[in-house]
Amino acid sequence: MFSKVFIESEIKNHPQTKKILERFSQAPVSEIERIDDVFGRVKKPYLQKRDSLQLFLGKKRGNLVKVAPDAYGLAGEPHYYFIHAYNCIYECEYCYLQGYFHSPDIVLFLNHDEIIHEMKVIAASHPDTKVWFHAGEFSDSLALTHLTGELELYHQFIAETPNAVIELRTKSVNTAELEKLSPHPRLITSFSLSPKERAKKTDLKTPPLETRLKAMNKLEKLGHPMGIHLDPIIHEDSFEETYLQLFQQITQYISPNSIDYLSMGVVRFTSNVFHQVKRNYPQSELLAAEFATSFDGKVRYPRPFRLWLLGKIKDMALSHGFSEKQIYQCME
């Protein structure tokens, strides 16, 4: 999986480092002072993740928890995201990570104790309200948890911090570590879903839709709270049929009542990411669409199309048993 592993000297004796290295015993290992000595030092094209993906293990320094952008989650409560990894093993054609780090290599930070400490400080600064902490802003929250082993620590944090909520955003089906934990109403796993054929075309290397739904079904049976992100919504000529089919499949595997929220977001890019998409996926069907620069400078479908798409999906959600209260629009 990894062509090379780089480890910071400071964490070379960390128990998790040893476990991860055992797992990738075939990959050559280099010890480095700081991740930044190599990661991001040169501009490494995104698609090199296909055949020369490297792994970096180290400590996150600087801001460990950051304020989330507006309209990131349910309105009315403060939202933050915490950073325990950079980059993702999947390859979604629209992914904003392709314009973000100047490198597609995977970085795993192992100082979860420090990240959790900062989350505790933030939660304490909002004593009268629920505080959301999102994982998965710069990586998939579950995809590598069998290697990184941090879920238990965050589960414990939730149990000890009554006003904190954690959202684990994922496209993976790697729920094994989560299944070992007792369900907690404030540890929510949210799955990003797209119609089957769409995911096959654009969400490269991600598990198929049905496998994701089966994973959700398993978590539902175990009583773990869940969310659904229909994001990004991508238009195609057969959009209505494919999303109708998606809702039928969702309700075949899970009950809308067991879903905490359903968010919808139409595909969008910063101009830099859009440039990267054109460069990395010049043959992508995504690029056949008409895009315009929108109210916030992001590249999106023209407003009538976006609102048409969101309206259609909301109608479908309502007619498949979701309630108005569960649905919100993301980044719109």
Partner 1 sequence: MHTTPLLIFAHRGEARAFFGHYQLTSLPEASDLYHYQGKSEGDSFYLLLTGEGHFNALSATSAALSFLKASNSELKIEAINLGICGALDEHFQVGQALFIRTLYSEGLHQGMEFKSFNTKTIDNKDSSFPFVDLVSSHHRVLEQDKKQKLSAFAPLVDREAWAIGFTCHKQGVPLTVIKLVSDHAEGEICIPVKEEAELWSDKLLRQYLSLKETPSKAQVIVKTIDSLKEKFPDLHITVAQERSLISLFNALSLKNISNEMALKSFEESGVLELDLRPKDKTKKLIEALSHQLSPLSQKLKSALTEVSEPLSLNGFNVRFDQDYEKAIIHLSTTLQNKSDINKLITGLENFSYENFLSLLNGDIDHV
Count of CB atoms within 10 A of residue 219's CB? Answer: 20
| Residue 112 or 300 with smaller CB distance to partner 1 | 300
Residue 294 Cβ vs partner 1, minimum distance, rounded to whole Å: 6
Q: How far apart are CA 104 and CA 252, in angstroms?
A: 36
| Residue 67 or 287 with smaller CB distance to partner 1 | 287
Structure tokens at 80: 């933050």
| Residue 128 or 237 with smaller CB distance to partner 1 | 237
Structure tokens at 225: 């709270």
Q: How far apart are CA 183 and CA 173, in angstroms?
A: 17
Burial class (CB in 10 A: 0-12, 13-18, 19+), 286: buried
Residue 41 Cβ vs partner 1, minimum distance, rounded to whole Å: 5
Instruction: Give me the residues that bind partner 1 (CB under 8 A), please.
Output: 4, 6, 30, 38, 41-45, 47-48, 51-52, 102, 235, 237, 279, 282-285, 287-290, 292-295, 302-311
Cα distances from 91 to residues 11, 74, 139, 200, 281, in angstroms, run 28, 27, 11, 11, 11
| Residue 127 or 288 with smaller CB distance to partner 1 | 288
- What count of residues does the chain have? 332
- The helix/strand/coil state of 180 is coil
Q: How far apart are CA 116 and CA 316, in angstroms?
A: 39
Residue 292 Cβ vs partner 1, minimum distance, rounded to whole Å: 3
Residue 285 Cβ vs partner 1, minimum distance, rounded to whole Å: 5
Residue 27 Cβ vs partner 1, minimum distance, rounded to whole Å: 13
Concatenate the DSSP letters of all residues of 276-309 into one string. Answer: HHHHH-TT-GGGGS--EE-TTS-EES-HHHHHHH
Q: How far apart are CA 269 and CA 85, in angstroms?
A: 21
| Residue 97 or 309 with smaller CB distance to partner 1 | 309
Contact status, residue 328 vs residue 261, Cβ threshold 8 Å: yes
Structure tokens at 22: 């055992």
- Sheet with 29-32: list strands edge to edge: 29-32, 4-8, 54-58, 106-109, 85-86
Where is 178: in which H helix or E strand? helix 176-179
Residue 324 Cβ vs partner 1, minimum distance, rounded to whole Å: 17
| Residue 184 or 201 with smaller CB distance to partner 1 | 201
Residue 154 Cβ vs partner 1, minimum distance, rounded to whole Å: 32
Residue 233 Cβ vs partner 1, minimum distance, rounded to whole Å: 12
